[in-house]
Amino acid sequence: MRMVCPNPELLSAWLDGEVPSPWKEALAQHVQGCPGCAGRVASYRQLSAGLDRPDVACEEPVLARQRVFERLQKNIVMKQHRSHLLRRRLLVPLPFAAAAALVIGFLGVALLVSGQRNSQLRLAVRQATEARQVASNSIGMESIMEYLSQQDSGVSITISLPQGSGFEHSGEPFIVREADFQPAGGNQ
């Protein structure tokens, strides 16, 4: 029966003699039959032998700790500096972009609203101008009155203007229907 290769920590513990007896023999037999695990155990033995040599100089723990803390402090400062630069790059243009978006939004709404109002006004002016041209070119007030008198209508229309309101005379009078000023497609 072939054993599944153990994890590297178990092989290291076996090499250090930390595995109890029933598993110790099974691991020894597996390492003899598995070239991958045998190679890993050989590299662990080499590493252990290199660390046990007297000519390998060990740093004093205080110096090693100081070197590690300096490196950590340097990394922390670099990360803070990088994040500060990113924040500055994003925070400076953010208000400008928000202000520009608001201005563009307000301008768009204003143009849309004024465009609708202007189109209604232009339509009314155009229709009034066309009605004025038709009235002045072909039909006079007398002909309208003659037409209305020929019709059998019982409706009497009386228009009375306020007295002394300061109206000014500007151009020739013409008749305009209310429907001419309504936008196409519905009542408001």
The DSSP annotation for 51-62 comes to HH-TTSPPPPHH
Q: Which domain holds residue 28?
A: 1-57
126 found inside a domain: yes
Instruction: For residues 9 and 42, state if they share a domain.
Output: yes
Instruction: For residues 41 and 16, state if they share a domain.
Output: yes
Q: How far is CA 27 from CA 9, 18, 19, 38, 46, in A?
A: 12, 12, 9, 11, 19
Q: For Cα atoms 25, 29, 31, give the angle at the middle one, nearest 5 degrees.
A: 115
What is the 8-class DSSP label of residue 182?
S
9 found inside a domain: yes
Query: Are 27 and 13 spatial neighbours (Cβ–Cβ below 8 Å)?
Result: no
Instruction: For residues 4 and 33, state if they share a domain.
Output: yes
Half-sphere exposure of 107 (CA within 13 A, CB side): 6
Instruction: For residues 2 and 43, state if they share a domain.
Output: yes
pLDDT at 98 over 80: yes
Instruction: For residues 74 and 52, state if they share a domain.
Output: no
141 found inside a domain: no
Q: For Cα atoms 172, 175, 180, give the angle at the middle one, nearest 5 degrees.
A: 125
Instruction: For residues 113 and 71, state if they share a domain.
Output: no
pLDDT band at 157 (very low <50, low <70, confident <90, very high): low
Instruction: For residues 48 and 72, state if they share a domain.
Output: no
Q: Residue 132 in 3-state DSSP?
A: helix
pTM comes to 0.31
pLDDT at 19 over 70: yes
Q: Please state the rounded mean pLDDT for residues 123-138.
A: 62
Instruction: For residues 64 and 40, state if they share a domain.
Output: no
Instruction: For residues 32 and 12, state if they share a domain.
Output: yes
pLDDT of residue 186: 52
Instruction: For residues 50 and 7, state if they share a domain.
Output: yes
178 found inside a domain: no
120 found inside a domain: yes
Instruction: For residues 26 and 5, state if they share a domain.
Output: yes
160 found inside a domain: no
181 found inside a domain: no
The domain total for the chain is 3
pLDDT of residue 153: 59
41 found inside a domain: yes
